[in-house]
Structure formats: C-alpha cells, structure tokens
Amino acid sequence: MDIEQAKHTLDSGGLVAIPTETVYGLAANATDADAVTRIFSVKNRPFFDPLILHTPSLDMMETYSQSGLPPLAMQLAERFMPGPLTFVLPKADSVPDIVTSGMESVAMRIPNHPMTLDLLRSLDYPLAAPSANPFGYVSPTSAAHVRQQLGGAIDGIIDGGPCAVGLESTIVSFLEMQPLVLRLGGTPLEAIEDCLHMKLKRQTSSSQPKAPGQLSSHYSPGRVVIPHPHGCDWQAIDWNLTTDDAISWLPQSNASQSFTQSGDDREGAQSLFHLLRSVDNGKTGPVHVELAPDKGLGKAINDRIKRSAHQA
Ligand code: TXA
Ligand code: MG
C-alpha cells in the first residue's frame, strides 16, 4: 500500500508492515493499546517482550521519554540518527504499559528509510513496531518475507525494497550512569565506542530482566543450525553436502551459498536473514553455518547465528 493508505489504516487502529533500513517492522499506533495488543497476537509474541517506538525526530523521542535525552545519548543521536540505533530511556506516562511490558523504560529509534520517515512525519503519534516475523523465526528483510508469513493476518504492507542494513538496530540503555549495550546490531559497537570515546558495558544475556526480548533461542529457520568457527576448513570436512545444507562466509566449492563474495561485513549482514530463510525448504537435516570474523557487524551477525542455533 502507499503512504496515504498506510496512514489511514494506522489512524483507524490497523496493522501495517513498514520497511526500515534494518528489517521490516509490524507497526501500530503506539498510543492505541488495542492496536498494539493485536501486534502481539499476530506475532504470537509473549507480552513480557516490549516493543520499540519509531519516531521521525529527536523532538518526538523527547516527548515520549520522561526527561529527554542525556548528553551521551545526544552525542550518539547526532552521529547515528536516523539509523540502526535504539535508545532505552525512562518512559513518559503517555506510553501505554502494553508497549513496554509494564516496565518504566521505553525503547525508541528513528528508522532511516525514506518511505517510513514520510509516513512517520504524517502521523501525530509514534509507531510501535517489532520485527514483522512470527515470534522466534528469522527476521524479514523484504516485503515478500512479510507476505509469506503474516500477509493474511495484517492490514497492509509498504514495499520499500530490500533492507539496506539487514540486521536489527543496536540497543543502548541509558537507565544507569553508564550506557549499557543490550543488543548488538546494525550500528557497530566499535563505532559507538569511538563516538563516545569510551568502552561500553554489554549485557546480552537472556536471563537478565533488562532485555527481556533477548531470548537465547530466536531466529530459527525451522532446522537445526550448526555454527562453525570463522575460517573453518570446508574442504577437509565431508558432510555429504547438498546445495542447501551449508552457508559459508566466503564462496566455497562444497557450500553452494555464501554470506559474502568478498568478506565485507555489510554484505554479510544484508544476506544473513535471506539465506537463513532459504534453508527452510522442507528439508529436515542440519544446516552448517560459518561464523563471520568477530569485528564490526560480524559481532552482531554471529550473535544472530548463535541464537538461530540455540535449542530451546
Ligand atoms: O531494527 C529494529 O530494531 C527493528 C525494526 C523493525 O525497527 N525492530 C526490532 O524489534 O528488532 P523487536 O521487537 O524484534 O526487538 C526489540 C527488542 C526486544 O529484544 C525487546 O526486548 C527490546 O527491544 N526492548 C524493547 N523495549 C525495551 C526496554 N524498555 N528495555 C529493554 N529492552 C527493550
Ligand atoms: Mg524481532
């Protein structure tokens, strides 16, 4: 659907899938608790897993936080927003409890996609939007991915093409004195640390209440995923591979698919979810997946591969 139809649908409490630079989101009016509740039921998402608010501006972010952006958040916002970065801040009373799972904090970001920015600017409320996939499955990086799984259950999809980044936003919490990284994502940790001239603490454990959505089992393509260290010797291992049982980092003769042609981490991020989805093809055997080099976006890519491999 186009932006005007999407606005109309959202204004009347509907659900619209929106393109962002990271992954497609499933959006509703964040101030409409009934609409937000539908997001949880369509995704089959547990209510303890809070949603991210999407806004077109820092001004609107300040409106929905209790006391605005602290100086370090402002410094990051100037450098990286709009972009794949989410802040967790104390929430304003106007954010419904259903959005934040009853917590006193709210996650917010400004997505960097022209169609979604146009849409957000036309609305007088923020959009609550998780990734537009059934809970626990691989995130969607194209309108077709959304249509395949949620098409019948939602009110529309804005097709904004394939996602430029391909990994969800990096989440940084400002609830305490020191910023805390809750999720690795599309803004590399090194870039954030460079900008702030400090090392950040990371908290990515699934058992911590501060990041309730960071469940260790996630991103599952419906088959057992076996991760292999970056640089593993593909030729030395005979897995009786067929064309869709293995994804390497660089092209290999016995793995038909590779995340990259050249080893570039941005290329790897763009192809990650598409390739993880492609192995969900009715076969039941394990899928062998080579990890990325552990730097830049590779850290977030490896986080996703390891979660996709986790057996609940
Ligand atoms: O790139 C993205 O962030 C995408 C696009 C659509 O914007 N969205 C996304 O949403 O990845 P979702 O719902 O799949 O992941 C949101 C994560 C969850 O792990 C959730 O637990 C965490 O954000 N989160 C949300 N609110 C939080 C809060 N107040 N405190 C801590 N973590 C929070
Ligand atoms: Mg998600």
In the chain, where are the structural domains located? Answer: 3-202, 225-309
3-state secondary structure of 280: coil
What atom in ligand 1 is closest to the CA of residue 186?
1
Res 208: pLDDT: 44
Nearest partner of 75 among 194, 245, 188, 244, judged by Cα: 194
Res 62: pLDDT: 96
Does residue 249 come out as left (phi exceeding 0), alpha (psi in the -120 to 50 range) or beta?
Answer: alpha
CATH fold match for the domains 3-202 and 225-309: no
Is residue 132 a contact partner of residue 20, using CB atoms and an 8 Å limit?
Answer: no
Query: What residues are neighbours of ligand 2 (ion), with CB under 5 Å?
Result: 131
Ligand that comes closest to the CA of residue 134 = 2
DSSP string over 219-278: -B-SS-EEEE-TT--GGG------TTSEEESS-BTTBSEES-SS--HHHHHHHHHHHHHH
Report the C-alpha gap between 250 and 176 in whole angstroms.
Answer: 41
Superfamily the domain 3-202 falls into? DHBP synthase (3.90.870.10)
Res 233: pLDDT: 87
Measured from the Cβ of residue 243, the count of other Cβ atoms closer than 10 Å reads 8
Measured from the Cβ of residue 18, the count of other Cβ atoms closer than 10 Å reads 26
- Does 105 sit in the ligand 1 pocket, CB within 6 Å? yes
Cα(2) to ligand 2 centroid in Å equals: 24
Cα(31) to ligand 2 centroid in Å equals: 20
Res 281: pLDDT: 84
Res 207: pLDDT: 44
Measured from the Cβ of residue 14, the count of other Cβ atoms closer than 10 Å reads 19
Q: Which residues of 55-117 form beta strands (DSSP E)? A: 85-90, 105-109
Tell which one of 54, 168, 220 to mutate to probe ligand 1, the residue whose CB is within 8 A of the most ligand atoms.
168
Tell which one of 85, 131, 163 to mutate to probe ligand 1, the residue whose CB is within 8 A of the most ligand atoms.
131
Q: pTM score, two decimals?
A: 0.92
Res 209: pLDDT: 44
Q: Residue with structure tokens 């997505």?
A: 111
Spell out, as residue ranges, where the chain has pLDDT lower than 50. 206-210, 212-213
Res 221: pLDDT: 86
Alpha helices in 69-224 (DSSP H): 71-80, 97-100, 114-122, 143-150, 189-196
Res 240: pLDDT: 64
105 token code pair: 């904090």
Report the C-alpha gap between 23 and 167 in whole angstroms.
Answer: 6
- Does 19 sit in the ligand 1 pocket, CB within 6 Å? no
Res 253: pLDDT: 80
199 token code pair: 């090392």
Cα(227) to ligand 2 centroid in Å equals: 21
CATH code, residues 225-309: 3.40.50
- Does 309 sit in the ligand 1 pocket, CB within 6 Å? no
